[in-house]
Amino acid sequence: MLTCKGLVAQSSDLLDGSLSFRQRLAARTHLAICFHCRRFIRQMRISQRVIRTLPEAPLPDLEHLLRAISEQRAAQSDDHNER
Amino acid sequence: MTDEDLLLARLRSGEQAAYKVLVERYQGAMRAIAIAIVGMSSADEVVQDSWLSVVRNIDGFAGRASLKTWLLTITANAAKTRLKKQRREVFIDDIAGPHGTIGADRFKADGHWQQSPLGWHTDSPEALLDEQELRECLDHTLTSLSELQCSVLLLRDRQCLELEEICNLLEISHSNVRVLLHRARLSVFATLEHFEDTGEC
Ligand SMILES: [Zn+2]
């Protein structure tokens, strides 16, 4: 019988769909009878969405990067023209 | 023509705005890959080198993989070149969170919850993130993770890469990725739970 502790240990694999058929069945059975673990799994899903929703860190010196890219392209097309 | 084909054509014609779109779309994932492999300190340089390599090679991109996979592979290769042979070890146990995660103390001897999860005031990530302080707590938690662990979390839960893809790009085993990811997720969970409970980090 899967315990709450065991379910928590497998929770990431459950979220990623990495459990075997047998393990998934055991997890589903546990969740059907355990309110606490249902809440835990729901909150783990919310945590994932929080990470997904976090504001993006500002891009470091985007302008600088774009300038480097455009210089590189210019250098390349000079190469082509010389050949 | 798909959105990606269209973007590719614009990139090949050298349209600067198309590069801007590409950078804005994929810089986050590329950075996470670079940090996982070379660490924070040289990650930005690796990403910059990768972009230059993208520009050099865009005409040769055959479209067998998706543009995203191609970009991330270039980044991983640039990072590995930088690292040469000094591979960083994967220390699975070097991580202490800002406060307890979901440790053994949360369970009774029989494996049932000792201290069961608390209800949260909302199920909405947006509503949770409205709190400036919580955003700071999460920043703190992400910083407290190892660079590799944080990158794996971001690549999976933010950039939505498949586990398989993460294993290949970072050259770490499936079981290592799963352990790193699980611990990182529990740290995020614990941060949210603690904040819901106390209003503090
Ligand atoms: Zn349970």
Set of chain A residues whose Cβ sits within 8 Å of the Cβ of B19: 66, 69-70
Supply the ipTM of this predicted assembly. Answer: 0.84
Task: Encode pLDDT of B40-57 as tens digits.
Answer: 888 888 999 999 899 888
Q: What is the pLDDT of residue B125?
A: 96
Cβ of A58 under 8 Å from any chain B Cβ?
Answer: no
Domain count, chain A: 1
- Residue B97 domain-assigned (yes or no): no
Residue B64 distance to chain A (closest CA, Å): 24
In a domain, B69, yes or no: yes
**CATH number of the structural domain spanning residue B121:** 1.10.10.10
The reported pLDDT for the residue numbered B14 is 81
Residue B96 inside a domain? The answer is no
Tell me the average pLDDT of chain B.
87
Residues B183 and B117 in one domain: yes
Question: Virtual CA dihedral for A25, A47, B100, B95, nearest 10 degrees?
Answer: 90
The range of the structural domain enclosing residue B155 comes to 104-198
DSSP secondary structure code for residue B113 in this structure: B
**Domain boundary residue, one of B25, B48, B82:** B82
Question: pLDDT tens for residues B134-149?
Answer: 999 999 999 999 889 9
* B124 and B49 co-located in one domain: no
**Angle (deg, nearest 10), helices A21-33 and A35-53:** 110
pLDDT tens figures, B162-199 = 999 999 999 999 999 999 999 999 999 999 999 999 99
Strand partners, B107: B113
What single DSSP character describes residue B104?
A: G
What is the domain extent for residue A77? 4-82
Residues B59 and B144 both lie in one domain: no
Q: Which of B52, B82, B112 is the last residue of a domain?
A: B82
Domain boundary among B82, B115, B132: B82
**Could you tell me the CATH number of the domain that includes residue B44?**
1.10.1740.10
Q: Which of A40, A55, A77 sits opposite B117 (nearest CB)?
A: A40
Residues B126 and B159 in one domain: yes
Q: Is B124 a domain residue? A: yes
Write out residues in chain A with pLDDT < 50, as ranges. Answer: none
The answer to whether residues B131 and B162 belong to one domain is yes
Q: Which of B194, B6, B181 is nearest to B95 (CA)?
A: B181
* Mutation for B interface: A11, A12, A56, most B CBs within 10 A: A12
Same domain for B11 and B72? yes
Task: Using the predicted structure, report yes or no on whether residue B7 has a pLDDT greater than 60.
Answer: yes
pLDDT for residue B98: 39
pLDDT at B153: 96
Q: Say how many domains are in chain B.
A: 2
pTM score of the predicted model: 0.82
Is B65 a domain residue?
yes
Closest Cα in chain A, distance from residue B162 (Å):
9
For residue B48, the CA-to-ligand 1 centroid distance in Å is: 47
